Structures are given as structure tokens and as C-alpha cells.
């Protein structure tokens, strides 16, 4: 009996593991098209990167509801968050800018008058805030194609970085896939050995 025949399951297991590892490698490699044995080889992701990026942009944009965004940003809570900044700028304007631009008028404005003017201005700005932000949100949606914007952001990420993230998060799954390839390969090898022995 040729005992080398019993190496068939081992070789088949190794072949199964290598096949899975090559399949995983081919997801990102080669980065650029290369010809080998008369065939053109190109990583699945690099080859379809443009389509994948576009589809990702469409999906991400579908999660963005301009009407909902407009409603949320137009709420008074948004103004409350911005109030300290607006008051700070208003103080600077009334106490410094106004004096520089119109010194004659500024001469008649004291701290009490400044406080009253600031209160009036803040009240008016608070009333106008939802309308201004709402118009801004609407015009932003008209000026920019959200899908295109998101797609460009995703497309700017290098393939190597995406591959690194993939490897980091799916290393365990890749090992399990390789192990499964070994098991399937060894089973096929055992079936082949059994057939040879029976014949």
C-alpha cells in the first residue's frame, strides 16, 4: 500500500485553507488591474469602488430627511444654545463697534441703554431665528447634492485604510473562514482517499 495516499486529506485541507485566504486577499488586491495567465486580475473592491461609493452615498443620504433636519434646527432650543454667543457679540457691537462707527450716537448711550437695546435685539433675533435657519436649511438642500457630498467624502478614504479597518474588524471571521476551508478540504480529501482505496 502506498502510504503517501494518506497525505491527500492533509493536502486537500491545506488547499481549502489557501483557497479561502486567497479569496479574502482578492477582495482588495490587486489594487490596480494586472494580467496573469492571460486573465486580468483586479481586487473586487478596487474594481467596483466607484459603484460601491455611489451606493453608499445613496444609502447614507436616504437616512437624511431634509424636512426633519429643518424642523429640528428651527426649534427654539437651537437659539437657546446660541444665545450666549449672540449676547457676547451684541455686547461687543454696542460697546465697541458702535462707538467706532458712530461716535456721536455712542456718546449718549450708557450701560442702562445698552442693556435695553441688547434685550430688544435679542428678542427680535429670537423671533427671526427659526425663519432664518429654516431658509438656510432649505437653501442648503438646494445648493448641495447630499448624495454626491457623502460619496465624495467616502471616496476620499484610501483603499488601504478601508482594508486595514476590514482586517481589524473581521480578522476573527477570516480565521473561521480559513478553518472552515480546511475542514471542507479535509472532507473532500477523505472522500477521494476512500474512493481510491475502494478501487
Q: What is the pLDDT of residues 38-62, one digit of tens each?
A: 888 888 888 888 887 777 777 666 6
Mean pLDDT of 80-105: 72
C-alpha distances (whole Å) from 132 to each of 75, 79, 116 are 12, 11, 24
Mean pLDDT of 165-186: 84
Q: Which residue has the higher pLDDT, 55 or 29?
A: 29
Give me the residue label for grid cell 455686547.
Answer: 91
Q: What is the pLDDT of residues 105-142, one digit of tens each?
A: 565 566 766 777 777 777 777 777 666 666 655 555 54
For residue 126, what are the contacts with CB-CB under 8 A and spacing of at least 6?
76, 79, 83
Q: Which residue has the higher pLDDT, 142 or 29?
A: 29
The residues spanned by each domain of the chain are: 3-198
At residue 153, the pLDDT reads 76
Look at the alpha carbons of 160, 166, 171, 175 in this order and tell me if their dihedral is positive or negative.
negative
Amino acid at each position: 500500500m502506498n502510504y503517501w495516499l494518506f497525505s491527500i486529506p492533509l493536502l486537500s485541507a491545506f488547499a481549502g485553507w489557501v483557497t479561502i485566504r486567497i479569496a479574502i486577499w482578492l477582495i482588495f488586491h490587486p489594487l490596480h488591474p494586472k494580467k496573469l495567465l492571460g486573465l486580468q486580475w483586479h481586487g473586487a473592491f478596487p474594481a467596483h469602488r466607484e459603484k460601491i461609493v455611489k451606493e453608499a452615498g445613496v444609502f447614507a443620504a436616504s437616512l437624511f430627511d431634509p424636512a426633519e433636519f429643518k424642523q429640528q434646527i428651527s426649534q427654539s432650543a437651537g437659539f437657546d444654545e446660541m444665545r450666549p454667543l449672540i449676547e457676547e457679540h451684541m455686547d461687543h457691537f454696542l460697546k465697541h463697534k458702535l462707538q467706532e462707527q458712530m461716535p456721536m450716537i455712542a456718546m449718549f448711550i450708557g450701560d442702562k441703554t445698552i442693556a435695553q437695546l441688547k434685550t430688544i435685539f435679542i428678542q427680535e433675533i429670537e423671533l427671526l431665528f427659526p425663519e432664518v435657519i429654516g431658509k438656510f436649511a432649505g437653501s442648503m438642500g438646494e445648493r448641495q447634492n447630499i448624495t454626491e457630498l457623502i460619496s465624495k467624502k467616502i471616496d476620499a478614504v484610501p483603499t488601504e485604510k478601508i482594508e486595514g479597518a476590514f482586517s481589524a474588524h473581521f480578522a476573527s471571521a477570516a480565521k473561521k473562514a480559513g478553518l472552515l476551508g480546511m475542514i471542507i478540504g479535509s472532507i473532500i480529501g477523505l472522500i477521494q482517499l476512500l474512493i481510491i482505496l475502494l478501487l
